[in-house]
């Protein structure tokens, strides 16, 4: 698989509307820096449940990332076609995700965009986490403050614009992923954006009747 990202054209950047973006973290230069950081971080990662960066090349006006090919597709598509997973299979997938996150965190890397769409599955039911475009190096002595990721998987501290260390936002996102695996839907949802924000901030989750008490307690400890 190949991921292609554009390089910044310094001669024309001032003339683009993007150069006048209201979000200082979403300029072409910032996006290029995220691409470079993603390549650097993925180059260091070696874990069976993380999609491996085989090689990266700079050619012309683009960066090319050559990634491990995962034949099974998105975990999201798997859930759409199969419905909510049996707890045994969900537990198998959860262990693999936790193993990959623990590996990242022990190496001072936080993903910050863990969601069901960024998890692939092989034909042998092996999980592969992808897309480290929002990842960063973290340190307990230097708090992060960038809002990252999908709203449905975002931790409350991100919505409250609070500084954070890093791993805690991945743990929250993992809790949401686990809920999706065993329930077939996201734990927080609403047609009103303010109401959705409030639900996430409150952390109140309703669990379906089919869920075992043990699994319910596991998710309650994460969300």
Query: How many domains, the chain?
Result: 2
* Cβ-contact 72, 80 below 8 angstroms: no
CA 139 to chain centre: 19
Closest by CA position to 80, among listed 50, 121, 134, 23: 121
Residue of 113, 189, 190, 209 marked catalytic: 113
pLDDT of 204 higher than 60: yes
Who wins on pLDDT, 200 or 18? Answer: 200
Domain identity same for 149 and 175: yes
What is the rounded distance in angstroms from the CA atom of residue 53 to the CA atom of residue 37?
Answer: 13
CATH of the domain at 139: 1.10.510.10
Helix (H, G, I), strand (E, B) or coil at 178: helix
pLDDT of 21 higher than 90: no
**Kind and range of the H or E run holding 67:** strand 62-67
Asked if 113 is an active-site residue, the reply is yes
Domain-ending residue, one of 10, 34, 67? 67
pLDDT tens digit sequence for 83-142: 999 988 999 999 999 999 999 999 999 999 999 999 999 999 999 999 999 999 999 999
What is the domain extent for residue 21? Answer: 2-67
pTM value is: 0.87
Closest by CA position to 108, among listed 80, 126, 135, 84: 135
* Cβ-contact 45, 108 below 8 angstroms: no
Domain identity same for 82 and 19: no
Who wins on pLDDT, 115 or 22? Answer: 115
pLDDT tens digit sequence for 47-93: 999 999 999 999 999 999 999 999 999 999 999 998 999 988 999 99
Domain identity same for 190 and 213: yes
pLDDT of residue 222: 58
Domain identity same for 83 and 57: no
């Amino acid at each position: 698989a190949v991921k292609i990202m554009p390089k910044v054209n310094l001669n024309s950047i001032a003339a683009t509307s993007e150069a006048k973006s209201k979000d200082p973290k979403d300029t072409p230069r910032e996006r290029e820096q995220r691409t470079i950081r993603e390549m650097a971080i993925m180059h260091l990662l070696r874990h069976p449940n993380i999609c491996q960066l085989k090689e990266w090349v700079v050619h012309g006006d683009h960066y090319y990332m050559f990634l491990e090919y995962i034949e099974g597709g998105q975990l999201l598509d798997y859930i759409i076609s199969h419905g909510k997973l049996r707890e045994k299979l969900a537990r198998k997938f959860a262990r693999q995700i936790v193993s990959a996150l623990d590996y990242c965190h022990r190496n001072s890397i936080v993903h910050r965009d863990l969601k069901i769409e960024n998890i692939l599955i092989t034909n042998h039911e092996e999980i592969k986490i992808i897309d480290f475009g929002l990842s960063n190096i973290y340190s307990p002595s230097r708090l992060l403050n960038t809002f990252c990721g999908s709203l449905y998987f975002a931790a409350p501290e991100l919505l409250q614009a609070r500084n954070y260390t890093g791993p805690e936002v991945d743990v929250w996102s993992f809790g949401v992923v686990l809920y999706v695996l065993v329930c077939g839907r996201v734990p927080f949802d609403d047609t009103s954006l303010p109401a959705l924000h409030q639900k996430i901030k409150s952390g109140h989750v309703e669990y379906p009747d089919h869920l075992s008490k043990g699994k319910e307690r596991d998710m309650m400890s994460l969300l």
